[in-house]
Amino acid sequence: MNKISIFRSLTTLILSIYLLAGTGSAVLYNGVDFPGGASSFADEVVSYNPATGVSGHDNPSMAIGIPDYANNTNYVSLGDEGTLVLKFTDNSLTTSGNENKDLWIFEIGEKFESADVYISKDGINWIYTGSTSNYTTGIDIDAYRGPEGIILGEQYSYVKLVDRLPHESDSPTAGADIDAVGAVSSNAAIQADVAVSPEAPDTTMVPDINAERIICFRLSSIRNFIIIALLIAGAIGLYLIKRRKGN
Ligand SMILES: [Ca+2]
Ligand SMILES: [Ca+2]
Ligand SMILES: [Ca+2]
């Protein structure tokens, strides 16, 4: 191997390591990248008003957290025209400022069943943001911006899903079957919604957020260390080659 080949190999190696390390931050759920990780998903059930035909699949907490449907469990059925309201507590849904999908709804079952999607700041005043169109549906909430609609940069804590007719599947999984709801365009939690007691501050979610930051920092540090080490090794190698050439 001549000197030019050695230099090319070294450069390729450095670039490969850099690119591989750079992909470490992606967190994919059903093929959708959630930069905020698991905290991007809905955290609480606010209300659940199912129609009939959901016996055994009527636990709304199954729609909380990351998509985890398996073996016909970990989802909740809405029933025909049933309603589910979820809340983000350690994060909030916001706009991306462009047509990128901001909110994702994960549905399961033998037949896809659509639901209307509404979001809200306060759980009282709702803004319609379209309906689901597939098992995994992304919604661009920026498309609903306007004086009475979505506001750029605003934070929303509540998501309401309302099953749409026609009747598609029978008991016990009537209506849309919801596995998870997540915000790709995820911001910090709305402070007014975080109950903090002076005697006992609620720091439940802080360790989780800090842990993610520490992991990112460590990955970044390791990557930088490897790159610097390889650059130094490359420089030394070039110096030795030049020196030998001089001799
Ligand atoms: Ca969350
Ligand atoms: Ca968007
Ligand atoms: Ca689930």
Q: Return per-residue pLDDT of the chain as tens, 247 residues.
A: 555 555 566 555 554 444 444 444 569 999 999 999 999 999 999 999 998 889 889 999 999 999 999 999 999 999 999 999 999 999 999 999 999 999 999 999 999 999 999 999 999 999 999 999 999 999 999 999 999 999 999 999 999 999 999 888 888 999 999 999 999 999 999 876 445 455 554 444 444 444 444 444 444 555 666 666 777 777 777 787 777 776 5
Cα(150) to ligand 2 centroid in Å equals 11
Considering every ligand atom shown, identify the ligand nearest to the alpha carbon of residue 74 and give its number: 3
The pair phi, psi for residue 177, each rounded to 5°, is: -110, 105
Inter-residue contact 142 to 96 (CB < 8 Å): yes
Cα(43) to ligand 1 centroid in Å equals 5
In the prediction, which pLDDT does 25 show? 56
Cα(12) to ligand 3 centroid in Å equals 43
CATH architecture of 31-193: Sandwich (2.60)
Q: What whole-number distance in Å separates Cα of residue 41 and Cα of residue 27? A: 12
* Six-digit token string for 173: 């999984």
Considering every ligand atom shown, identify the ligand nearest to the alpha carbon of residue 98 and give its number: 2
Considering every ligand atom shown, identify the ligand nearest to the alpha carbon of residue 42 and give its number: 1
What is the model's pTM?
A: 0.69
Considering every ligand atom shown, identify the ligand nearest to the alpha carbon of residue 40 and give its number: 1
Q: What whole-number distance in Å separates Cα of residue 230 and Cα of residue 215? A: 23
Q: What whole-number distance in Å separates Cα of residue 247 and Cα of residue 72? A: 74
Cα(158) to ligand 1 centroid in Å equals 11
In the prediction, which pLDDT does 224 show? 62
